A and B are shown apart, each in its own frame.
Chain A
Amino acid sequence: MRIIGFISSIICVFFASGCGINSMRVYTMQTEDFGANQKSLKKVICIAPNFKKYTDRDMDNEDYLSSWKLKDKFAKEAESWSKKSGFNYEVYFPSEDAANQQAIYTKLLPLRRSLLMAISNQANSLNETDNSMFSEENKGVFVVNTVLPAEWSKLSEEFETPYFSMIEMYANNNKSFFIHIIADVVKGRIEYQEIRKYSGLVKPRYIEHVLFDSFRTLKKNLKGGNKK
């Protein structure tokens, strides 16, 4: 019986490695009526998808170069996986095209900056996600909506959609974070926010998986409506 106990304890250690240590967490938050306008959400303007990877910011500058090279791939994959998942993301990122450059540097990048500010202002105790480890997914509903500046609402006429999104990935030491945000500039608020936390540094071949997972989750949340 001692041998059985010994073997089973070894087995349990290996099981534990499969269950929790290398797991991935998803935190999503959305407005209460998100999902009511599924059709209009099909066209979304995605502003400069960004990919940043660094092992140590002070010591190693080459990581920025390598992540800059991966940025194009990241943007293309984001566009293709959005279409495969049934959404129409138009991706804008700095390129040599003059018209594109004007749109980006005068309109979209400032909007992106205000989106980032809006997220940081949402750290309200009422806005917490459900952190239960036994739930399927950590979901939350925005109780307090941060209002975006009204000046951005004019962009909805120019780009023919009120929805603007931001997709970013940050990798640092042994953790990687993925952020996916959708904002409605007419209502002036963040509609949907998804944060993924991965253990382990992201590799280029994982980008596809991350984007696939993200768009699948978005689709599921749209169908689920405002259920918590």
Chain B
Amino acid sequence: MKKSFLIIIILIAFANFSKGQIGFFGKRLVVKANAISGNERLFSGFELEYAVKRNITVCFGYRANSYESTFNFSDFESINYFINNVSNYQIYNFDDGLKFYDLTYSLSNTEKVESGFKNKVQDGRLVSNRRIFDFSFRFYSNSYLSAPSGFYSQFGLGFGSQTYNGGIYYPDDIREYENTSKIYFYNESFERYEKKETVFNLYFGLGYQHIFSKWVTLDFNINAGAGVIGNSNTSGFYKSSQNNFSIILDEQEELLRIGNLYGNARRSIYLSPLSTFYFSGNVKLGILLF
């Protein structure tokens, strides 16, 4: 690790030997907005790029995004879904899962209950807000054109935080099945969850930036990165109950549900599911200022 950083520093020092005027017709600063960036929202972040050498620029970026992940009891249409999507967490009892599956399956066959579900929209909902600061170097490989235009390779790091807010809603209707099942009986209730994580990632990318009519820039790039997320367990959730919530869930069952929501939220944050390695493509629209 130390060696690789040393090599990078040496290369930056060597890059001094490309000479001449800095900037595209003397203009060095580009302000950009993320037009398309992975699965992030449109124009959800911005970036400043400044040419420090003829071939080197420094970028500062900020991205703020929110993702929503939902969970319906009726999603459990088959036992295979249940096993494939939830078994990763290994925090549920298989017998309980089967019963849960039976219950929801029978519920979805009842018209009355279906309408009840539709009104409530979602049974579980988790919104994750992510704020990331970016810092990166770009190395352009052009002979005739100066730094903010042309093909480049990029090396950067991102750091920030992501917070999860949400809860699980337990519908009243399930009461009707009090006698048919020995599992759980609910009052109408809502349980709220909160969680905060710190994020740190390193990434490497390749790209091309084109400048139209000397002031409008369009920037395409592809990044591959490795990330570290602090406190990435479902047990890190802070729970605060609301309303007349009566105890129903044992610990495992609770973790199962929030775990599923958390998994979905994490999947939407990274394009590859729950992986510390990720790929993303970006298109940025910008203005070459001065």
Contacts and interface: CB of A to CB of B under 8 A. Distances in A.
Interface in A12-34: 12, 14-26
B17 interface: yes
A59 interface: no
A209 interface: yes
- Which residue of A17, A21, A198, A206 has the most chain B CB atoms within 10 A of its CB atom? A17
Q: Is the interface of A mostly helix, strand, loop or mixed?
A: helix
B144 A18 contact: no
Interface residues of A, number: 41
Dominant SS at the B interface?
Answer: mixed
Given A1-B1, A4-B1, A18 B143 contact: no
Nearest to A133: B17
Interface string B110-135: 00000000000000000000000000
A7 interface: yes
A12 B7 contact: yes
A19 B144 contact: no
B144 A16 contact: no
Contacts of A198: 143-144
B212 interface: no
B152 A216 contact: no
A23 B153 CA distance: 15
B21 A18 contact: no
Interface in A31-63: none
Looking at B11, B19, B26, B144, which has the most chain A CB atoms within 10 Å of its CB? B144
Contact of B21 (A1, A4, A212): A212
B153 A217 contact: no
B11 A19 contact: yes
A3 to B, nearest CB: 9
B188 to A, nearest CB: 51
24 contacts: A4-B1, A10-B204, A11-B4, A12-B4, A12-B7, A12-B11, A14-B153, A15-B153, A16-B11, A18-B140, A19-B55, A20-B15, A22-B141, A24-B19, A24-B54, A136-B16, A138-B19, A198-B143, A198-B144, A209-B25, A209-B145, A209-B146, A210-B144, A213-B21
Interface of B: 1, 3-4, 7-8, 11, 14-21, 25-26, 54-56, 138-146, 152-153, 155, 204, 206, 226
